[in-house]
Structure 1
Amino acid sequence: MTEVRVPTLGESVTEATVATWFKKPGDTVAQDEMLCELETDKVTVEVPSPMAGTLSEIVAGEGDTVGVDALLAQISEGGEAAAPTPKADAPKAELAPAPAAPSGGDEMDIMVPTLGESVTEATVSTWFKKPGEAFEADEMLCELETDKVSVEVPAPAAGVMTKLLADEGATVEAGGKLAVMSTDASAAPAPAAAPAAAATATSTGKDVEDAPSAKKLMAENNLSSGDVQGTGKDGRVMKEDVLKTLAAPAPATVQAAPPRAPVAADQASREERVKMTRLRQTIARRLKDSQNTAAMLTTYNEVDMTEVMALRNEYKDLFLKKHGVKLGFMSFFTKACIHALNEVPEVNAEIDGTDVVYKNYVNMGIAAGTPTGLVVPVINDADQMSFAGIEKAIGAMGAKARDGKLSMAEMQGGTFTISNGGVYGSLMSSPILNPPQSGILGMHKIQDRPMAMNGEVVIRPMMYLALSYDHRIVDGKGAVTFLVRVKEALEDPRRLLMDL
């Protein structure tokens, strides 16, 4: 047996996602023939076969996250393979490696998986398989959307989709039935599968499978493969191709002016009504509930970022070399907030009925914008972490947020939140509380401004800070003190090292 392992992915890149397998167990492969494609944050990496033989086992399936040098598959020489090589003209369902099924096949229910603590229902977002289509064990059948995260539903076994019990847009309960499948590959109605394949080939002009992450992003933005120029193998659409399409300005069209209709009718014809996603509905409801429940007030200050920027520039290369992660501004702000929360503990507390619950730990929420909406992953026990630990945790959570892979547990239990609107160019804003928390810090754009210092006007890189807080538990004095302590720590970062 010869092992197929994850190759070197590039400087500072430590993991990738298995996008597509071009071969299945039992397939013969030639030396240097492409076996699979891996996706990193920036590039797509093709993995060639190290030898000629038979692909005997796939260890990491499509969608799995793998590290550098992780085992992907095993290849055996000629006759060692346990699975016979499928015939070239075999139908797709016969190519899927499936466990032996009873004669005639068994029907099996596809169920809604556990959705997370206190989550009882979800919306069927996208079906990747239709009745009559064959699939392999663990292949993604559909995607569900809950209030916070997307949940992928894998196939429990190889087989054929028999019937969909919940259409896209339907609400389903945890443990409910989604569909019915058959473990007998011959149960696939040939007429149903063939037109679907023909339609795909006709609409896209190519008979290749797009990357799973690209499919998901296209579905979320109402795009089809024909709308995106693929740059992957054989014209395959990759995630970065979809992002480029979304970022490109819409082409201008020139049309002859139609006869002028009444204003209301004319405007109505140019409107589009789209149902809010469950995530967007939840964001709207929680933010409005926060405004209705908390006595929310915002206080402002500004911070001179000179010292933090100088310290970061001086040590960023050494920091990266030693810890394998870049030194960003967020770790400084996280440390500064932890320092301030120790002095003003009510900002790190919450109201429970008629009680105030003080937290003797800091679970820091880091708000992150994603294509589907705002999420707040939580870094537990951030007060016990080093700068490097915080940066690594933020990087890992940010990657999961962008890929829609955050679990409910990873977004619960926060005691304080930091929101950085500056990455989008915001100069000043008033963030809304993330209930049941009593405080949220808003960071903003760093901008050079003239400042009076020691009787002289100098140009300094300044940032406005905003603390929104629940006035029921935090007084004005506590809020102002909190912001002043954050400002002092950032303007003299040595305070953070000496706990001053």
Structure 2
Amino acid sequence: LVEEGNEVSIGQTVATLSSQKEAKQPSAPPAEKTPMREVQKLKGTDQAAKEPSAVKPPAPPSVEPTEAAAPAPPIKALPPAVTPGVPAGRKGRIERVPMTGIRQRTAERLVQAKSAAAYLTTFNEIDMQKVMEIRTHYKTDFQKEHGIKIGFTSFFVKACCLGLKEFPDLNAQVDGHEIIYNHFYDIGVAISIERGLLVPVIRDADKLHFAEIETAIADLAKRAQEKKLGPDELTGGTFTITNGGVFGSLLSTPIPAYPQSAILGMHAIKKRPVVIDDQITIRPMMYVALTYDHRIIDGRQAVSFLVRIKEYIEDPDKLLLEL
């Protein structure tokens, strides 16, 4: 009833359907490709483009052609965006606390370390029997002479200084396309305080005797708790030792203090059955972990260094005599 391309008003009859089966369906008129037709399509006023194709079966007789199409349901508004990190419906039960300066710097350095270096960790275990015997035998005399107790970290500082001289790559660092070899041994010792983690540095630790190392560790730990450490005492280390064992950690993979290339992780001492001279016996054992920058330190060097630390700690007489 209406020519293709003509505009019609709402409710106007545009076609009449026959209910007879033998009624012949009109063939679809050829599609117009005139510029006016294209404009009508873009504007949405091309009624012919909205009609069903002639090749499709006719609509069921029960459908009135003059019925207006039902209006589309309204589009629901999208829910407000949820704040990242805040569970939905829990906003009244969270608390936002700004990071402390120490925590911010620690976070920045850890992210920098993980993105700038290629870290790998190797492990070993150490029999602490002889070191514990020395502490038990000499603790009273040592404290009377030096005013401090004998700890475990001082043994590892001494052992690491000797090991780093044998394996200098672990005391080096990457600077662009160059490797900087440090011919001094400034050992950082991680100390946990209420505000976070500090790593004060023992300067020229290789030149200190055992008692001097123990005294330096005790002094740095005390002043760290009292917030009396200077900035120069917290920077410039060449190697770091951390002891998660004081909190009960059995094993971990510590991250080096970038740009340092390696860090030694001490852990809790636990009695375990071990085989010595083909006999099963109970010994105080400690797992140790060495995380290193694989860009400049090969696995052979890292494993050999950790084995050397094990040998020094298991034979402390040789360690203290620096043999």
**Normalising by structure 2, what TM-score?**
0.71
In the alignment, what sits opposite 2:304?
481
Q: Once the 2 structures are TM-superposed, how far is the Cα of residue 411 of structure 1 from its aligned partner? A: 0.6
Tell whether 2:183 aligns with 1:367. no
Residues 282, 320 of structure 1: CA spacing in aligned structure 2 closer, same or farther, 3 A cutoff? same
Tell whether 2:272 aligns with 1:449. yes
Q: How does 1:346-495 map to 2 (within 5 A)?
A: 346-495=169-318
Contact 2:130 2:316 (C-alpha < 8 Å) held by counterparts: yes
In the alignment, what sits opposite 2:157?
334
Q: Once the 2 structures are TM-superposed, how far is the Cα of residue 265 of structure 1 from its aligned partner? A: 5.5
Quick one: distance in 1 between partners of 2:224 and 2:242? 14
Q: Once the 2 structures are TM-superposed, how far is the Cα of residue 264 of structure 1 from its aligned partner? A: 5.2
Quick one: distance in 2 between partners of 1:326 and 1:277? 32
In the alignment, what sits opposite 2:121?
298
Contact 2:210 2:320 (C-alpha < 8 Å) held by counterparts: no
Quick one: distance in 2 between partners of 1:264 and 1:451? 49
Quick one: distance in 1 between partners of 2:168 and 2:179? 11
- In structure 1, what residue type is equivalent to 2:123? Y
Runs of 4+ in 1 over 4 A off after TM superposition: 263-266
Q: Once the 2 structures are TM-superposed, how far is the Cα of residue 313 of structure 1 from its aligned partner? A: 0.9
Quick one: distance in 1 between partners of 2:310 and 2:265? 13
- In structure 2, what residue type is equivalent to 1:391? E
Tell whether 2:103 aligns with 1:277. no
| Deviation sequence 1:238-283 (CA, Å, 0-9, x none) | xxxxxxxxxxxxxxxxxxxxxxxxx956533221111112221111
Q: How does 1:108-187 map to 2 (within 5 A)?
A: none
Higher RCO (CA-CA < 8 Å; seq separation 6+): 2
Quick one: distance in 1 between partners of 2:304 and 2:88? 55
Quick one: distance in 1 between partners of 2:124 and 2:274? 14
In the alignment, what sits opposite 1:127?
none
- In structure 1, what residue type is equivalent to 2:295? R
Counterpart secondary structure, 2:90: helix
Structure with the higher fraction of residues in helix conformation: 2
How many equivalent residue pairs? 238
Stretches of structure 1 lacking an aligned partner (at least 5 in a row): 1-262
- In structure 1, what residue type is equivalent to 2:107? A
Counterpart secondary structure, 1:339: helix
Residues 265, 478 of structure 1: CA spacing in aligned structure 2 closer, same or farther, 3 A cutoff? closer
Quick one: distance in 1 between partners of 2:221 and 2:320? 26
| RMSD after superposition | 1.4
Quick one: distance in 1 between partners of 2:129 and 2:87? 54
Q: Once the 2 structures are TM-superposed, how far is the Cα of residue 475 of structure 1 from its aligned partner? A: 0.6
Quick one: distance in 1 between partners of 2:138 and 2:216? 20
Contact 1:362 1:416 (C-alpha < 8 Å) held by counterparts: yes
Quick one: distance in 2 between partners of 1:451 and 1:284? 39
Contact 2:186 2:205 (C-alpha < 8 Å) held by counterparts: yes
Q: Once the 2 structures are TM-superposed, how far is the Cα of residue 464 of structure 1 from its aligned partner? A: 0.3
Structure of higher CA gyration radius = 2
Q: Once the 2 structures are TM-superposed, how far is the Cα of residue 497 of structure 1 from its aligned partner? A: 3.0
Quick one: distance in 2 between partners of 1:278 and 1:327? 33
Contact 1:325 1:388 (C-alpha < 8 Å) held by counterparts: no
Quick one: distance in 2 between partners of 1:477 and 1:419? 22
In the alignment, what sits opposite 2:166?
343
In the alignment, what sits opposite 1:310?
133
| Deviation sequence 1:330-370 (CA, Å, 0-9, x none) | 11111111111111111011112222111121101001111
Residues 406, 452 of structure 1: CA spacing in aligned structure 2 closer, same or farther, 3 A cutoff? same
- In structure 1, what residue type is equivalent to 2:173? E
Quick one: distance in 2 between partners of 1:369 and 1:330? 14
Structure with the higher fraction of residues in strand conformation: 1
Q: How does 1:183-202 map to 2 (within 5 A)?
A: none
| Deviation sequence 1:126-158 (CA, Å, 0-9, x none) | xxxxxxxxxxxxxxxxxxxxxxxxxxxxxxxxx
Stretches of structure 2 lacking an aligned partner (at least 5 in a row): 1-85
Contact 2:185 2:203 (C-alpha < 8 Å) held by counterparts: yes
Quick one: distance in 1 between partners of 2:199 and 2:287? 22
| Deviation sequence 1:423-472 (CA, Å, 0-9, x none) | 00000000001011111000000001111222221111000000000111
